[in-house]
């Protein structure tokens, strides 16, 4: 295969500055964590935004940033403060994100944000054009860059372009609300292969293409003006072995060398028998259903006085898009709910919700996964949800229970989990009880089946399948033109 370049808005590393010196930190989010495990296998660059506003830094500082990223095989696309505001916070996260997650009431329809989206997509396309050699492959990721495939294809048909959407593609009736729906679809159709997490998202996309343009669709191929575009679903996996081995390692580490998080959790369990920890981990995002999760937990405590003092919800929320209004409001709502529950049911010795608003190092994340009895995952809409998969992979003794929303892409691969509708708080409260009371043998049966599935279709297999399909797309196109 020729070189393959990865392109995404967020790079696998974000930059932080201390005393004018930049350093790299791993980015949070499914795209970054997943692709970070595979990208070094490809010969090519990872093109993306390093997460800072370039006009707030000096030339010297930016040069230092570029040098650091170059060592990791990354090529930055710098965005100034206005672009961050109008493109990233604006059109990406205040227009497309809410619409594609069925939060139509949150959508901001400003034409100036759309202009910023076009301009920044053009910047990314230009960087690809200057990086990619004759006949290279390019893999563009996610909703921030939906115009890029067409921008590149129109100038360089020799480049084979794959596009993968990490969020849901909404049904036509929701997608059609957007004034710029035709342009977005045309942008995507510049790709040779378009991938989604699930068959439903693929179906919604094809239905929009058919209704808006009336193009011919033959099975999973779109035929337009002498081109064939393949459309398929590829449920993203995780680096299964990395989580499993890290969890295994914890128990081989002498107690004195274990982390503070681990020892604190262990102390909690040692306080008395019958203690349960429920885990909740997400970016602080309204699509993740955090308030309904808290209200369901409150209901559970209200109805089960015997469990008060013995069941704790460990809630980890990573700061995300905190300049966007709806995210700010969500943060206050979550803090208020946590305060209310802790005020109502807490005591000197018991804090019902242990709330952390921060990102955590990988090691601590695995400690939480491996020590909490239940993972409570209740998004109101989620493209995939890798946290659910990471939890399962970290259960080295095969115990543990996953409670997962039917609105998350991951549910298609988790038939053994307790599946809930996140809007039904009574059902979620009951599911918490069912999870805590599930016999060990039943937990082992369910977790083992899910582990086997996730181990087989890990992130490496996912990437390999996508790249194979991309090669097939090139072949199909070449044969079609030769006819």
Residues near ligand ADP (CB under 6 A): 28-30, 33, 281, 283, 316, 318, 359-360, 365, 384-387, 390
Q: Does 167 bind ligand F6P (CB under 6 A)?
A: yes
Rounded to the nearest whole angstrom, what is the least distance from the CB of residue 48 to ligand F6P in the complex?
A: 9
For residue 316, the partner it binds in ligand ADP, ligand F6P, none, with Cβ less than 5 to 8 A by kind, is ligand ADP
Residue with Cβ nearer ligand ADP (283 or 474)? 283
Rounded to the nearest whole angstrom, what is the least distance from the CB of residue 35 to ligand F6P in the complex?
A: 10
Q: Does 197 bind ligand F6P (CB under 6 A)?
A: no
Q: Does 30 bind ligand F6P (CB under 6 A)?
A: yes
Rounded CA-CA distance 436/433 in Å is: 5
Rounded CA-CA distance 28/14 in Å is: 9
| b/e per residue 115-151 (b: at least 16 CB within 10 A) | ebbeebbebbbebbeebbeeebbbbbbbbbbbbbbbb
330 token code pair: 């969500």
Residues between 310 and 329 that touch ligand F6P (CB under 6 A): 320-321
The residue sitting closest to ligand ADP, measured at its beta carbon, is 30
For residue 121, the partner it binds in ligand F6P, ligand ADP, none, with Cβ less than 5 to 8 A by kind, is none
For residue 321, the partner it binds in ligand ADP, ligand F6P, none, with Cβ less than 5 to 8 A by kind, is ligand F6P
Rounded to the nearest whole angstrom, what is the least distance from the CB of residue 44 to ligand ADP in the complex?
A: 23
Rounded CA-CA distance 419/406 in Å is: 6
Contacts of 468 (CB under 8 A, 6+ apart): none
Residue with Cβ nearer ligand ADP (229 or 387)? 387
Q: Does 84 bind ligand F6P (CB under 6 A)?
A: no
- H/E element, 301: helix 290-303
Span of 26-34, 63-71, 248-256, 407-415 interacting with ligand F6P by CB under 6 A = 26-34
Rounded CA-CA distance 47/7 in Å is: 5
Interior angle at CA 174, CA 170 and CA 175, nearest 5 = 70
Q: Does 32 bind ligand F6P (CB under 6 A)?
A: yes
Q: Does 31 bind ligand F6P (CB under 6 A)?
A: yes
Q: Which residues pair with 16 in a beta bridge?
A: 23
Q: Does 446 bind ligand F6P (CB under 6 A)?
A: no
Residue with Cβ nearer ligand ADP (36 or 121)? 36
Residue with Cβ nearer ligand F6P (92 or 311)? 92
Rounded CA-CA distance 445/431 in Å is: 18
Asked whether the beta carbons of 65 and 22 are under 8 A apart, the reply is yes
Contacts of 456 (CB under 8 A, 6+ apart): none
Rounded CA-CA distance 368/277 in Å is: 9
Q: Which residues bind ligand F6P (CB under 6 A)?
A: 10, 29-32, 142, 166-167, 320-321
């Amino acid at each position: 295969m020729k070189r393959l370049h990865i392109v995404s808005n967020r790079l696998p590393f974000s930059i932080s500055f201390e005393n004018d010196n930049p350093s790299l930190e791993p980015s949070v989010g499914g795209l970054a964590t997943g692709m970070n495990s595979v990208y070094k296998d490809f010969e090519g660059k990872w093109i993306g935004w390093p997460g800072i506003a370039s006009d707030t830094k000096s030339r010297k500082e930016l040069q230092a940033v570029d040098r650091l990223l170059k060592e990791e095989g990354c090529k930055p696309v710098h965005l100034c403060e206005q672009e961050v505001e109008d493109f990233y916070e604006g059109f990406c996260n205040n227009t497309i994100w809410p619409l594609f997650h069925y939060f139509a009431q949150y959508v901001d329809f400003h034409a100036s944000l759309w202009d910023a989206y076009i301009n920044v997509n053009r910047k990314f396309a230009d960087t690809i054009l200057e990086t990619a050699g004759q006949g290279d492959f390019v893999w563009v990721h996610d909703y921030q860059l939906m115009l890029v495939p067409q921008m590149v294809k129109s100038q360089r048909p020799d480049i084979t372009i794959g596009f993968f959407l990490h969020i849901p593609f909404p049904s036509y009736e929701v997608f059609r609300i957007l004034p710029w729906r035709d342009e977005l679809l045309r942008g995507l159709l510049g790709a040779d292969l378009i991938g989604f997490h699930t068959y439903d998202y693929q179906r919604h996309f094809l239905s929009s293409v058919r209704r808006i343009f009336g193009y011919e669709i033959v099975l999973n191929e779109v035929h337009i003006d002498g081109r064939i575009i393949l459309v398929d679903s590829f449920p993203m996996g995780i680096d299964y072995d990395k989580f499993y081995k890290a969890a295994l390692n914890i128990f081989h580490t002498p107690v004195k060398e274990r982390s503070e998080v681990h020892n604190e959790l262990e102390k909690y369990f040692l306080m008395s028998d019958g203690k349960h920890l429920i885990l909740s981990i997400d970016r602080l995002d309204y699509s993740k259903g955090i308030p309904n999760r808290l209200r369901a937990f409150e209901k559970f405590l209200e109805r089960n006085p015997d469990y008060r003092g013995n069941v704790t919800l460990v809630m980890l929320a990573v700061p995300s898009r905190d300049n966007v209004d709806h995210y700010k409001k969500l943060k206050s709502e979550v803090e208020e709910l946590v305060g209310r529950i802790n005020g109502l049911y807490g005591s000197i010795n018991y804090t019902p919700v242990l709330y952390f608003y921060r990102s955590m190092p990988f090691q601590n994340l695995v400690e939480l996964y491996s020590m909490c009895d239940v993972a409570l995952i209740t998004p109101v809409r989620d493209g995939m949800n890798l946290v659910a998969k990471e939890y399962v992979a970290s259960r080295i003794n095969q115990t543990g229970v996953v409670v997962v929303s039917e609105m998350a892409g991951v549910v298609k691969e988790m038939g053994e989990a307790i599946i809930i509708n996140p809007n039904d708080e009574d059902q979620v409260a009951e599911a918490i009880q069912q999870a805590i009371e599930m016999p060990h043998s039943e937990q082992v049966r369910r977790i083992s089946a899910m582990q086997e599935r996730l181990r087989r279709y890990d992130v490496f297999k996912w990437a390999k399948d996508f790249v194979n399909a991309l090669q097939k797309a090139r072949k199909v196109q070449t044969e079609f033109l030769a006819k």
